[in-house]
Structure 1
């Protein structure tokens, strides 16, 4: 994979502490990347003031933008010692995720970086958080940042899908692993492949008296282990860095990330149906809520964002 040469950082307007910007600076220092600190703001009250003319409302909006530009310039000033080119961009938009994705596509950015936190599960059903939208709809890789450090000689977990042997799955696995290997080289980290396999279906054991659940379970496990080891050998990853566990991906991935004390989980996300039953839908969203480290979400080649329509 190519280096990250253009990094778009989503700024949190509610705090002066910007973990995403700090992480982007770490990455940029390894690849001489250019960073854009991006802030999307909106205040519905400025749109509803009917006593003001459109020109007056525009002037008020511009005044808010100017204030935020000054605040953002001050926020990035603390990173001047790193000698990295950091641009700023403040836009007025009522849907932050759309403004981020559109800016990333138009500017041909290589990576979107955003800080995240555990979401309220009930609210998330009604109001999908911005970072979930980014994972689903951004064609550009999205790095969601938590407070976990990236130490030298750390560990990077790749969530691979070996259920199907079709070409699309293989390409996405390769893309995930290549991103991880590139980052591992920059940070002297080790890459680990993680895969979850399904347990024995309960209905089979009930409906078929002669069904041997242990034999079935061992057969499934061995198939998954062989496929994960094949991937490891193809990318020169030590076999001892292969981890195959029984369970759903959204459970196995966080458990292994915690066990390894990984600083990063890399997985594939697909924004459309019919491609993958293992890492589609809510898996990435469950994982980001269950890990205490960063998550890098990657789309398959050829993915087209619904915002491009």
Structure 2
């Protein structure tokens, strides 16, 4: 695993599919914040069934930045780029949003995908069907899922950060090291002053994997070993520590959707009380963490 300074941004492009719902607004706040701290490009994609264009429904980037006190009230659209980010809004037309999103990802690179999920549905939209192998092989992106009904750790109102408790499930495989480094970078880049990262191993203490834990000023590492059903234990721990984020390394060679489908990560995603950051073990971001 290569070592990259936490001061050097590794995210160059962030991708946010939006359905214009309240849940997507929360996900948008996280995508915009990520773009700001990484000085990255942000693409907001909406898929519509007809060609009636209504750009007013897209989340207002400039209006949000004004509300976050990052731009003056008399600012214009061109002022957004002066903050070091580039924003593109894309309207696509297709009967199937999943096919449209994955087709876009086949042609456009993204380092991080930020999207909302609806846990009340039998399956979340983005995990509801198989993705063609040629597309999936090119879609090994790190993904931040924001469950409907949660506020996440980025305030839509003022852009403030509430990230004090992070949960990382650990096992022999896949290695949690990419998740640990991703969380370390996130804490540093968001300037989170203090908190606790809980490493949770479900199983025998003798099978606890050896991991490198970096020093993070103001932050503590806490290792917990418990027995029981893996998913239940993870979710119970998330509730117990009031986790603001769960970060998991995912297996799978078929991209960000298939890496989750049928896995522990997907089962956690369907019941998680907080955002879930999934880092594919064989993805580009994992190799750079």
Q: Aligned ranges for residues 16-55 of structure 1 at < 5 Å? A: 18-42=25-49
When normalised by structure 1's length, the TM-score is 0.66
Q: Aligned ranges for residues 38-117 of structure 1 at < 5 Å? A: 38-42=45-49, 61-62=50-51, 64=52, 66-67=53-54, 69-72=55-58, 75-81=60-66, 82=70, 83=80, 84-117=85-118
| Cα pair distance change 1:12/1:280, threshold 3 Å | closer
- 1:181, CA displacement in angstroms? 1.3
Structure with greater proportional strand content: 2
| Cα pair distance change 1:148/1:245, threshold 3 Å | farther
When normalised by structure 2's length, the TM-score is 0.70
| Cα pair distance change 1:222/1:14, threshold 3 Å | closer
- 1:17, CA displacement in angstroms? 6.4
Is 1:193 aligned to residue 196 of structure 2? no
- 1:234, CA displacement in angstroms? 4.9
Is 1:285 aligned to residue 266 of structure 2? yes
Q: Which residue of 2 aligns with 1:160?
A: 170
The aligned length equals 236
Contact 1:135 1:269 in 2 (8 A): no
Contact 2:199 2:221 in 1 (8 A): no
The structure with higher relative contact order (CA 8 Å, sep 6+) is 2
Q: In structure 2, how many angstroms separate the alpha carbons of the residues matched to 1:16 and 1:111?
A: 18
SS where residue 290 of structure 1 aligns? coil
- 1:222, CA displacement in angstroms? 2.2
Per-residue CA deviations over 1:55-89 (Å, capped at 9, x if unaligned) read xxxxxx43x1x22x3432x6444324244432100
Q: Which one has the largest radius of gyration?
A: 1
Is 1:223 aligned to residue 206 of structure 2? yes
Q: Which residue of 2 aligns with 1:216?
A: none
Q: In structure 2, how many angstroms separate the alpha carbons of the residues matched to 1:10 and 1:100?
A: 7
Q: In structure 2, how many angstroms separate the alpha carbons of the residues matched to 1:133 and 1:241?
A: 35
Per-residue CA deviations over 1:109-164 (Å, capped at 9, x if unaligned) read 111111123233xxx2xxx43232599854111111142342455122222222x5
- Name structure 1 gaps, 5 residues minimum: 43-60, 198-220, 274-278, 304-309
Is 1:130 aligned to residue 137 of structure 2? no
| Cα pair distance change 1:224/1:140, threshold 3 Å | same
RMSD: 3.1
- 1:190, CA displacement in angstroms? 3.9
SS where residue 90 of structure 1 aligns? strand
Contact 2:124 2:270 in 1 (8 A): no
| Cα pair distance change 1:135/1:174, threshold 3 Å | farther
| Cα pair distance change 1:240/1:87, threshold 3 Å | closer
Q: Which residue of 2 aligns with 1:299?
A: 280
Q: Which residue of 2 aligns with 1:12?
A: 19
- 1:294, CA displacement in angstroms? 0.3
Contact 1:156 1:184 in 2 (8 A): no
Deviant stretches of 4+, over 6 Å: none
SS where residue 110 of structure 2 aligns? coil
Q: Which residue of 1 aligns with 2:151?
A: 148
Q: Aligned ranges for residues 228-267 of structure 1 at < 5 Å? A: 230-231=210-211, 233-236=212-215, 240-267=221-248
Contact 1:134 1:142 in 2 (8 A): no
SS where residue 79 of structure 1 aligns? helix
Q: In structure 2, how many angstroms separate the alpha carbons of the residues matched to 1:116 and 1:236?
A: 33
Q: In structure 2, how many angstroms separate the alpha carbons of the residues matched to 1:144 and 1:178?
A: 18
Structure with greater proportional helix content: 1
Q: In structure 2, how many angstroms separate the alpha carbons of the residues matched to 1:243 and 1:257?
A: 12
- Name structure 2 gaps, 5 residues minimum: 71-79, 154-160, 255-259, 285-289
